[in-house]
Amino acid sequence: MAVYKRRYNSYTGSLTPAWSRFFVLTRFAFIDLFKSRFFVLLLILCIVPCLFSAGYIFVANNKTLQLMMQLRPDMDFFKVESQYFIFIMIGQAWAAFLLNCWVGPVLISGDLTNGALPLFLSRPFSRADYVLGKLAVLGLLLSAVTWVPCLLLFSLQSGLARNGWMWSHLWMVVPIVLCSAIWILTLSLLSLAVSAWVKLRIVATGVIFIAFFVPTGLGEMFNAIMGTRWGVLLDFSFLFRLIVERGFHERTGFLGRAFDEIPISAAWASLISVCFLSLVILNARLRARETVRG
Amino acid sequence: MTPTIELDGLEVKLGGRTILHGLTGVLKSRAIGLLGPNGAGKSTLINTLLGFHVPSKGSVHVLGLDSHTSGKALRSLVGYMPENDAFIAKMSGVRFVRYMAEISGLPSEQAMERAHEAFVYVGLGEARYRPVGTYSLGMKQLAKLAQAIAHGPKVLVLDEPTNGMDPPARKRLIELIREIREASDICLLLSSHLLRDVEETCDEVLILRNGQIASICNLVEERRANRKFLELETIGAETTFTAALEDIGCECAVFSSGRIKVVMPDSVEIREVFKVAADRGVQIRRMNHRRDSLEDIFLNAMEQSGVADGRL
């Protein structure tokens, strides 16, 4: 099909491995995302707190600087322990939520609006590949503002503190990665499900907020009426905090009595249920052809 | 030789209703037309062979590959141009085609090269950097064709390709489809309401009606048979003329006003008919090859399947 010949020729060259083709979606989505200045600004803003946290670690490990700031070393004002990472993780979880609200709604809706889905699925490309490709966009992006900076801060602290700090705190890597992973998965699948359902970005963003905050209100109502604390299972941010605090074996006091009353397994089950529900919605919506019953 | 499409008792149920009722047939030609009135099951058949619908009974094989059990392998051979809008509005045309080619497995550079080539080939070279959402309906059809051919498929599935196109654009698209068919060993499956589209591009036709096969017709053989059937209008000695034609092996039927229908054997050429007429002093005022047009075949199929109103 050379241009100068203007005739059709079939393709006889090499092909990429089938398993890697989902990443085409991710690559194209990233190219589109980075064309938006607002997105770049938002991404930078989401990473800025981590830079301040790095500064905090630097000061915490620099006695000379503390003296220059007229802080008494025995005050132990700068302390990099579990609580420090809990605060960072919770802060970055909210940053991830904002980023997800901006990026998530357009990922699938753009393909559904003008019926492009049959074009993907008429190729050697499954619905699972499609979801994986879109999920990888959010997975990579949200990782860049959650567990990756947390691990970098952990490494920085390990490097500066020395005296075996890293080995005595190495267990923290597990809650950092695991808690971030469930949070990223919940956010990503939820926003992909919304994106598959709602085509307009502004409406989809609104629906994500509703899906996040309305259950919290309903849970509070349930608690008030039934005199229980189980309603918090509908509060995703609460569940994340609970998982993080339990993961770090630390209590910040934000969670009140519910910290003791709600088992960690229930929190995990609740978040996994959201993921499962989102997958059910995606399965129902991502079809090459819709079947009208009746 | 592996048949292009092989239907083996194919039954498809959608939403509790049976859409395709046990289709059985073999289509061997390289260019197959799919005809039928609205709701006949054309699109359902295409969607089934692309693996979008799962057969409730039976199977459909394309180039020997089962649409259900070898779906991925089959789809790696297919280029699909859907009937409805199918594009990503904000992407430029060439990027859209490159995207689709990469998903089909072409490496990035080759996908880009083939996307440009496909765009130029379908005649959208000037518009390739414009967002697809800004294209006219005809341009969107061509962009859909470009994405269907960019990865060099072995089977090209075109669902109502000339929908919404004006006559010159339609003519250009039909020419392109014929060019593609002739320039390569690609197999073509074209579904259309327009009999002319099918007639101009296909060698074999599958006619569906109410989810059943009304007819499978090989157009090449029909055309060959039609070449031997003449309709004449003559002035002069009809009786001696027809007798002389019968002497050289033709079969004749004489009608009023000098109209004669002649079936020629393969050994007889038309100039022999002229020679016989000249010898007998008969004037041939009109001569037509009787053509059993696709419309005749279609209407015949509709009638044979017990349908009085064979409307499209």
Element at B233 (helix H, strand E): strand B229-235
Indicate if the pLDDT at residue B128 is higher than 80.
yes
Query: Do residues B141 and B196 share a domain?
Result: yes
Domain containing B270: what range? 227-289
Cβ-defined contact of A118 to B78 (cutoff 8 Å): no
Q: Which of B170, B194, B222 is the C-terminal boundary of a domain?
A: B222
Q: CATH number of the domain that B155 lies in?
A: 3.40.50.300
Query: Is the Cα torsion angle B147, A30, A24, A3 positive or negative in sign?
Result: positive
Same domain, B132 and B206: yes
Question: Least CA distance to B140: which residue of chain A?
Answer: A114
Residue B295 placed within a domain: no
| Domain residue ranges of chain A, discontinuous segments joined by + | 19-77+93-285
B66 lies in the same domain as B135: yes
Q: Are residues B126 and B244 in the same domain?
A: no
Question: What amino acid is encoded at B230 in this protein?
Answer: L
Pairing of strands B78-81, B155-159: parallel
- Six-digit token string for B105: 């497995």
Share of chain B above pLDDT 90, in %: 53
**Is A18 strand, coil or helix?**
helix
Print pLDDT tens along chain A (294 aa): 555 556 778 888 999 999 999 999 999 999 999 999 999 999 999 999 999 999 999 998 888 888 888 777 666 677 888 999 999 999 999 999 999 999 999 899 889 888 899 999 999 999 999 999 999 999 999 999 999 999 999 999 999 987 889 999 999 999 999 999 999 999 999 999 999 998 888 898 999 999 888 999 999 899 899 888 888 899 999 999 999 999 998 877 666 666 677 889 999 999 999 999 999 999 999 988 765 554
| Chain A contact for B54 (CB, 8 A cutoff) | no
Q: Inform me whether the C-beta atom of residue B100 falls under 8 Å from chain A C-beta atoms.
A: yes
Altogether, the residues listed in chain A come to a count of 294
pLDDT (tens digit per residue) in B221-279: 777 666 678 888 988 888 888 899 889 888 888 887 888 888 888 788 888 889 999 98
Are residues A9 and B102, on separate chains, in Cβ contact within 8 Å? no
* Domain co-membership, B139 together with B169: yes
CB contacts of A22 in chain B (<8 Å) are: none
Helix (H, G, I), strand (E, B) or coil at B211: coil
> Is the ipTM, as predicted for this complex, more than 0.85?
yes
Please report residues of B whose CB lies closer than 8 A to that of A134: none
Secondary structure (3-state) at B196:
helix
pLDDT the model gives residue B308: 40
Taking only Cα atoms into account, the Rg of chain B, rounded to an integer number of angstroms, comes to 24
Q: Do A11 and B152 touch (CB under 8 A)?
A: yes
On whether any CB of chain A is under 8 Å from the CB of B178, the answer is no
Contact A110 B103 (CB under 8 A): no
Amino acid at A270: S
pTM for this model (two decimals) = 0.85
Any B CB within 8 A of A20 CB: no
Q: Are residues B49 and B79 both part of a single domain?
A: yes
- Nearest-angstrom CA–CA distance, B261 and B249: 14
Which residues numbered 87-116 in A keep a CB inside 8 Å of some CB on B?
110-111, 113-116
Gap from B105 CA to chain A (nearest CA, Å): 5
Q: Bridge partners of B81?
A: B158
> Domain boundary at B206, B222, B238, which?
B222
Q: Which percentage of chain A shows pLDDT scores above 70?
A: 92
CB atoms within 10 A of CB B254: 15
Compare CB distances from B85 to A114, A287, A293 and report the shortest one's residue: A114
Q: Establish if B127 belongs to a structural domain.
A: yes
- Structure tokens, B218: 């090989």
Residue B267 belongs to domain with CATH number: 3.30.70.100
Boundary of a domain, candidates B179, B195, B222: B222
Burial of A55 (0-12, 13-18, 19+ CB in 10 A): exposed
Query: CB contact, 8 Å: B113 with chain A?
Result: no
Instruction: Tell me, yes or no, whether B51 and B175 share the same domain.
Output: yes
Q: Which of A4, A122, A125, A134 best tests the B interface by mutation, with the highest count of B CBs <10 A?
A: A122
Determine the Cα–Cα distance for residues B215 and B193; give it in Å rounded to an integer. Answer: 16
Give the three-state DSSP class for A79: coil
Number of domains in chain B: 2
Residues B240 and B206 in one domain: no
User: Looking at the structure, do residues B234 and B139 belong to the same domain, yes or no?
Assistant: no
Q: Same structural domain for residues B259 and B159? A: no
Tokens 């294209």 label which residue?
Answer: B135
Strand partners of residue B216: B206
Is residue B125, in this structure, part of any structural domain at all?
yes
Cβ within 8 Å, pair B186-A121 = no
